[in-house]
Structure 1
């Protein structure tokens, strides 16, 4: 499905409810599978979370997680410690190109039995669940934090817990801290000192507990962008809290530099466009929040300002090579943009080419990040249904804001 997006709306006003964070939901789904006394509320309705839930409840030998990278990492650890169960964990063609070796080797250090079905270092992988007694492991710190979180999440079920030594500079610290906070919330003893992470085994019976998932800050990023690109806007989003576990809550500070003021009220945030705001070139290190890079770059293009973003090395192994995808699609729009293996530089633009077809590369964030530009020029989003990976209601909510969404060939 290709969608032509356009808008004649100058003043955005709406109240929108966004479902629970995919990041929190998938962590809690795994913990729920390990500890049956956990109940969950406000879980994500994303494809990734549905895939995760189905995989955890299934009993077949082949477990296909399609495009869900989080599920691939978390389930690798889960099945490795699921004693007596043998599975082949596989996914989409793109998933078979995404590396898993760092996590597999870390689990093998602990005594896990994992082998590659095809190319070494990549899915599909065959996992035979073992009783894990070893508890010390080292892992590169500059890889996807999901590898580290995968180990942390299964640690309470290990006989001796786990002690992880992170080697080198740590990437995406907020996501690691999110995992530790969720473990603490269910009563697990954890620590994070220097480059050492420790999780103690949970030896007592877990009392029944209901955990409510906060709404997804990554999904909120597209509304921050819309407000920044509007003439006037007051948009309320729920359910959010000021002291969020999610690293992408850094949006509040980042978008304050693009004329968006955020007000916290009970369980929601209200985004307000500041009139006559003076804009300047942005220089940001997104090492802790790489998932919002696409949104920020597109916003800067729409505002006519430049930006220099660093800390983006993990974007090379996402649903697509997001840095290269951004370079290609932004160039179509008339942007002067350059990328390296871990950075991106955008020059200020005075014009945006209209009616450009944006390829999405099976990447939900490509579709949603470019959509706000419809406030400036008509834009076509190819394979728009890809948003279901994390935000199935995105186009419905865009229509509620007054955008025309016309399906075309």
Structure 2
């Protein structure tokens, strides 16, 4: 792989089996929960990527011992829900998950913490979470007064109580509050006033609370109660493979008509991005699973009309597949893609159109005319890992696709191109 460019080779993979790293979303949440637990935990199968290592380092800055063995195992010394807090600015680059989850957790600190990021992070909104923290006595403010980082989160107040929050921009605001809630004296009684988007990620967070001995109750998607005075149970916890990163290999089968299996994944997983498989089935693919993993075989692709509000990270992948399908696909309710690592609505449309596609942004939706004759192009990745990975899939069918800045995949899947080489033959 070139340092600055990666040229994809066209190929139809047949009966290829791949193994991918652990879930980024699970890794973030398990590391944080283990840091709040009542003793030492081992978290195995961790994804070691730019984002998850930023979370691990941030926890160290906040006073938690995190030992990285380098093989997916991390030892975390929980302090029973107590955090000393960070003396220096916690830098989180462009890891939105780290910023949102840790901004809430910083409210458990014994002193004030400041969290910052890169230029793009300083454009990503956090105001609804800051307001929610303030409702329960935790001082939280945006230094530039824009609702964006850098943010200052005051420590020392552990009262908790009732709050309301809008979660139409990110479900991670709610996940952060749920993770901190059991460590507060009164816990939290959370009312969601708008949204939430990406609901499967909330389910993932709640699953981790349950697995680690924390009780809670919920009323639909609008109210969550977590009693206070609880402690996460320390122990040995396993991270399952990342369904989001598996999507590129399933998509490889879809666009080529080939067959690819991802080992270690189960259709019973709560990872919401596995919902993409059902959409691929509607488009003409065949999905099978066994004790070893999940397999997809491509077929004659047809267009779909789907609401992707709960699977925003899968929109770039689906958009690329839709470009090869017969008819016009409508990908709806994805306004929150504008607040990701880049404006993914604009980026996906621009790059598919650069390849000769026909893609339009209509309000909060994407419209993709499938079957247009596509040609090779240099794909701008906007320093966004998901752009690099999804357009690599297009290159399996279209000669001359070149990915700029392939190193940006380090954010979530550092060895992506090594694994992807297997589907290129």
Fold in common (TM above 0.5): yes
Between the aligned partners of 1:111 and 1:62, the Cα distance in structure 2 is: 22
What TM-score results when the alignment is normalised by the length of structure 1? 0.92
Matches for 1:9-408 after TM superposition, within 5 Å: 9-35=11-37, 36-58=39-61, 59-82=86-109, 84-194=110-220, 195-203=222-230, 207-233=233-259, 235-274=260-299, 277=300, 279-354=301-376, 356-377=377-398, 378-402=400-424
Tell me how far 1:267 sits from its aligned partner.
4.4
Kindly indicate whether the alpha-carbon contact (under 8 Å) linking 1:214 and 1:241 is maintained by their aligned counterparts in 2.
Answer: no
Kindly indicate whether the alpha-carbon contact (under 8 Å) linking 1:13 and 1:401 is maintained by their aligned counterparts in 2.
Answer: no
Secondary structure at the counterpart of residue 375 of structure 1 = coil
Q: Compared with structure 1, are the counterparts of its residues 72 and 207 closer, same or farther at alpha carbon in structure 2 (3 Å cutoff)?
A: closer
Tell me how far 1:341 sits from its aligned partner.
4.2
Kindly indicate whether the alpha-carbon contact (under 8 Å) linking 1:224 and 1:260 is maintained by their aligned counterparts in 2.
Answer: no
Which structure 2 segments of 5+ residues have no match? Answer: 62-85
- 1:406 paired residue number: none
Tell me how far 1:202 sits from its aligned partner.
4.7
Q: Deviations over 1:30-66 (max 9, x none)?
A: 1111113432111112211011001101254110000
Deviation larger for 245-254 or 265-274: 265-274
Kindly indicate whether the alpha-carbon contact (under 8 Å) linking 2:13 and 2:424 is maintained by their aligned counterparts in 1.
Answer: no
Tell me how far 1:128 sits from its aligned partner.
2.3
Tell me how far 1:223 sits from its aligned partner.
0.8
Secondary structure at the counterpart of residue 310 of structure 2 = coil
Kindly indicate whether the alpha-carbon contact (under 8 Å) linking 2:8 and 2:392 is maintained by their aligned counterparts in 1.
Answer: no
Kindly indicate whether the alpha-carbon contact (under 8 Å) linking 1:37 and 1:208 is maintained by their aligned counterparts in 2.
Answer: yes
Kindly indicate whether the alpha-carbon contact (under 8 Å) linking 1:145 and 1:175 is maintained by their aligned counterparts in 2.
Answer: yes
Tell me how far 1:182 sits from its aligned partner.
0.9
Tell me how far 1:304 sits from its aligned partner.
4.9
Q: Deviations over 1:215-253 (max 9, x none)?
A: 1111011011100111332x2212212221111010221
Secondary structure at the counterpart of residue 88 of structure 1 = strand
Q: Compared with structure 1, are the counterparts of its residues 144 and 319 closer, same or farther at alpha carbon in structure 2 (3 Å cutoff)?
A: same
Q: CA RMSD in A?
A: 1.7
Q: Deviations over 1:174-209 (max 9, x none)?
A: 1111111110111111112131111123536x5542
Kindly indicate whether the alpha-carbon contact (under 8 Å) linking 1:162 and 1:198 is maintained by their aligned counterparts in 2.
Answer: yes
Deviation larger for 243-252 or 65-74: 243-252
Between the aligned partners of 2:315 and 2:270, the Cα distance in structure 1 is: 19
Between the aligned partners of 1:96 and 1:288, the Cα distance in structure 2 is: 25
Q: Compared with structure 1, are the counterparts of its residues 79 and 304 closer, same or farther at alpha carbon in structure 2 (3 Å cutoff)?
A: same
- Runs of 4+ off more than 4 Å: none
Residue-pair matches, total: 396
Secondary structure at the counterpart of residue 400 of structure 1 = coil
Between the aligned partners of 2:292 and 2:224, the Cα distance in structure 1 is: 32
Between the aligned partners of 2:149 and 2:374, the Cα distance in structure 1 is: 40
What TM-score results when the alignment is normalised by the length of structure 2? 0.89
Which structure 1 segments of 5+ residues have no match? Answer: 404-409
Q: Compared with structure 1, are the counterparts of its residues 88 and 208 closer, same or farther at alpha carbon in structure 2 (3 Å cutoff)?
A: closer
Tell me how far 1:115 sits from its aligned partner.
2.7
- 1:407 paired residue number: none
